[in-house]
Chain A
Amino acid sequence: MRAPFSTALAIAFGLVVLLGYFIPAPCDPANPGLSCTFLGIRVVLLDWGATLAGVAMLVGIVNLALVHWRKVRASGKERDLLSAVFLLAFLITLAAGLWFTPADVRFQRAVLGIQTPVEISLMALLVVTLAYASLRLLQRRSGLMAVSFVISALVFLLLMSGLSGLFQQVPLLREPVNVINRLPLAGARGILLGIALGSLTAGLRILLGADRPYSG
């Protein structure tokens, strides 16, 4: 077995956190028992996890800055001057954040003043991209699934753009429209059940030590 120590640690911590879900909370501090012990251990472990995740984000950001620094310093095709723009923006934001602190309203306004328009522009680009992809879908993919997808998308776009309310005023159409409106919910539940079962088995692989996405 590779990395037995980290595997044992991962399994032990995973089991404690998992058991915490099945042991009823809150515990009674006046009469602390197994429930309080597990709840306490679970909270401590999750707090450690959250702290480590925060540190990991910091490490990731430093790594990101270093990757762009190397791209600026590289020669030939590897060189990317847009990375210099990234580094400049990163350093200015970092310096301003340290100077004014992230809680400062002026700092927040300045950051959001740049971030929000950029994200809205990307969102607009996404709308165009998705419209174009939908148009191309039947060219790229034939079959019942693709046709059903396009028809469903069109039907629900029309229904959600106000037609649904209009149809519900007609007594004869009210029930069929209600049934059609429930269809996406049923489909979504089916897909989510599949994802939940997949998540369960993926988690069990880790808990049983059969899958180890860490080297130790």
Chain B
Amino acid sequence: MNINAVIGLVFLVLGVGLMLIFFFVRRNQPVRALRSISAFQHLRRALGLAVEDGKRLHVSLGQANILNSNGASALVGLSTLERVAQLSSLGDRPPVATSGDGTLAILSQDTLRSTYRRIGAFEMYNPDRGRLAGPTPFAYIAGTLPVISREQVSANLLIGNFGPEGALLCERAEQQSAFTLAASDALPAQAALYASAQEPLIGEELFAVPAYLQGTPVYQVSLHVQDILRWVVVGVLVIGAIFQFIMPLLGGGAP
């Protein structure tokens, strides 16, 4: 086993261990308040307004392939879609989900169907509300633009894997005076969305969306574990840098 696999395994075991420990410790405790992020406060307000105004919510899931390493962002998008469908079930218009990958489109339909079945509102389910907008990045954007402008959408959640072309969706939403929260796992997209979206999320904030929307212990525990692992990485990096600095001074080679 090479060193990368060993490091990966250590983080995996640490992650599983911490997640199980925190989950069993906290399962009977009340849900803790998370640190305030203005984007999520605005999102909650936009969700409420959409229901009150009889407008639709649009969840754009991006074009992540569920079999690739960027599939995790798609899973976050699906969890968000589940919660959005629950929250908007009191409204007149069910949410619409667009995706740039066939598997993701089917999973979005499946998420909507299972959510409506669970909350006893199966009549709200329409498979057309979870659709493939286009199979290539620009085809996806071209297919999603009409959804934002013609389907009475008042809030857009762009959560998944996007390229910088996601800025075109934010611009169209801006023209429609619609709210936009955007988060991508791709670096070029994060820069473009920071400039164009009303509420951009940077870096790992993408993975905090379900915790802030769902408020269930498992997502909060996951967020907590993520924070701890980040501090572990920071510690390892700092210690490594110190060693790299002092080893030549002590007469040894760089580690």
**Residues of chain A having any CB pair with chain B under 8 Å:** 2, 18, 21-24, 46, 49-50, 52-61, 63-64, 66-67, 70, 80, 82, 115, 118-119, 122-123, 125-126, 129-130, 132-134, 137, 140, 149, 153, 188, 190-195, 197-208, 210-211, 213-215
Contact = CB atoms under 8 A, between A and B. Distances in A.
Given A191-B190, A199-B185, A24 B167 contact: no
Contacts of B103: 52-53, 56-57
B213 interface: no
A205 B222 contact: yes
A122 B195 contact: no
Interface string B103-116: 10111001101100
Interface residues of B, number: 80
B206 A63 contact: no
A200 B132 contact: no
Interface in B214-232: 218-219, 222-223, 225-226, 229-230
11 contacts: A53-B66, A63-B128, A64-B133, A70-B128, A80-B146, A115-B136, A197-B230, A198-B72, A211-B79, A211-B210, A214-B114
Contact of B19 (A49, A50, A208): A208
A122 B72 contact: no
B222 A204 contact: yes
A213 B1 contact: no
A134 B105 contact: no
A130 B5 contact: no
Contacts of B102: 53-61
Contacts of A2: 114, 118
Contacts of A129: 167-168, 171, 196
